[in-house]
């Protein structure tokens, strides 16, 4: 049965309403999608700028947690443990592949401002008798500091080993070696004391041995 003229007008009207609503919905979806894309881009740009600002402030390279985890073989080789974290051996996540000691800080709270400020003051200390900083990682609660690797570890253990070797080989300890170690450490401490890096003066310092005659002050 053919539709009555009134029914036909009615279904045309319904179609127009459906088309109108669908077009409005489509336009809304497009606007929301564009707004979300622009917002995500702004957030990304802001976070990139933030990363660049942090790197500039601390004058150190920032590495991702993933890259340091990979280059320390998932923190497999533990060198030692301190009050604030664990130190692992690894390689610098760059093409140099230099040996590093990575200090993974215990789960840390806060927005990391204090961590960044401390890194900034530590990174300003540069001296031949101070253990160098190579970089850092700051991803949420995953925070780590990358130091140059000191193959002979802490000086007290190195001296013990040196004493042991001298004893077993019936040789005398070379006082020149000890004198050079003491001189290097004194130079490092003197630099820290007289440099303008005020915050470092309040830090705990240890002596680590790189080679027989090359010991450096390590501020952790």
By CB under 6 A, name the binding residues for ligand ATP: 79-85, 87, 101, 103, 131, 147, 149-150, 153-154, 204, 206, 208, 218, 220
Residue 81 vs 163, nearer CB to ligand ATP: 81
Contact 60, 136 (CB under 8 A): yes
Q: Which is nearer to ligand ATP, 67 or 84 (CB)?
A: 84
Helices (H) and strands (E) in the chain, counts: 6, 8
Q: Least distance from C-beta 27 to ligand ATP, angstroms?
A: 58
Q: Give the burial class of 116: count Cβ atoms within 10 A of its Cβ; 0-12 exposed, 13-18 middle, 19 or more buried.
A: middle
CB of 49 to ligand ATP, least distance (A): 31
Q: Give the nearest residue (CB) to ligand ATP.
A: 82
Residue 203 CB, nearest approach to ligand ATP (Å): 8
Other CB atoms within 10 Å distance of the CB of residue 166: 13
Question: Is 214:155 a contact under the CB 8 Å cutoff?
Answer: no
Compare residues 48 and 114 and give the one whose CB is closer to ligand ATP: 114
16 is in an annotated binding site: no
Encoding tokens for residue 45? Answer: 């740009």
**Closer by beta carbon to ligand ATP, 158 or else 191:** 158
CB 164 within 8 A of CB 192: no
From the annotation, which residues make up the binding site?
103
From the annotation, which residues make up the binding site for ATP?
103
């Amino acid at each position: 049965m053919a539709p009555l003229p009134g029914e036909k007008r009615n279904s045309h009207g319904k179609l127009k309403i459906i088309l109108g609503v669908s077009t409005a919905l489509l336009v809304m979806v497009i606007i929301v999608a564009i707004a979300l894309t622009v917002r995500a881009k702004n957030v990304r740009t802001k976070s990139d700028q933030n990363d660049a600002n942090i790197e500039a402030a601390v004058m150190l390279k920032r590495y991702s947690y993933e890259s340091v985890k990979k280059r320390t073989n998932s923190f497999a080789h533990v060198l030692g443990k301190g009050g604030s974290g664990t130190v692992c051996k690894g390689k610098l996540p760059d093409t140099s592949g230099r040996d590093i000691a990575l200090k993974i800080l215990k789960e840390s709270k806060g927005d990391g401002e204090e961590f960044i400020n401390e890194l900034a003051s530590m990174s300003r200390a540069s001296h031949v008798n101070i253990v160098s900083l190579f970089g850092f990682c700051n991803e949420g609660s995953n925070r780590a500091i990358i130091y140059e690797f000191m193959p002979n570890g802490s000086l007290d253990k190195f001296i013990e080993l040196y004493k042991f070797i001298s004893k077993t080989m019936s040789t005398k300890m070379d006082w020149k070696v000890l004198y050079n170690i003491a001189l290097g450490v004194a130079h490092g401490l003197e630099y820290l004391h007289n440099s303008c890096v005020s915050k470092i003066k309040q830090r705990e310092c240890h002596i680590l041995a790189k080679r027989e005659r090359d010991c450096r002050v390590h501020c952790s």
